[in-house]
């Protein structure tokens, strides 16, 4: 993330949004809830026509944030 200007800040913002979203829906921040959210989010993005490729698009940054949360919490 350090090699792409602004990516760390964007990932941090998305990670906070994911934590808030899971908390608001009564879920805990754990491997299961993050994994389910990752699958659901990615499937929805693909159904909308998103394709991976641009490291600056919203979907890519959200996926990186979810993965970052998983590794940060040793999931």
> H/E element holding 73?
none
Give pLDDT, residue 67: 95
**Which of 23, 61, 21, 68 is closest to 42 using CA atoms?**
61
Residue 3 pLDDT more than 80? no
In degrees and rounded to multiples of 5, residue 36 shows phi and psi of -65, -40
pTM: 0.86
Give pLDDT, residue 73: 80
What pLDDT digit, counting tens, does each position of 11-52 carry? 999 999 999 999 999 999 999 999 999 999 999 999 999 998
DSSP alpha helices (H): ranges in 1-75?
7-24, 31-47, 58-72
């Amino acid at each position: 993330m350090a090699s792409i200007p602004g990516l760390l800040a964007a990932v941090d913002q998305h990670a906070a949004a994911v934590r808030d979203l899971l908390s608001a829906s009564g879920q805990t921040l754990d491997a299961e809830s993050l994994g389910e959210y990752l699958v659901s989010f990615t499937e929805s993005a693909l159904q909308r026509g998103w394709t991976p490729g641009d490291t600056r698009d919203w979907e890519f940054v959200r996926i990186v944030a979810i993965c970052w949360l998983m590794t940060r919490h040793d999931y």
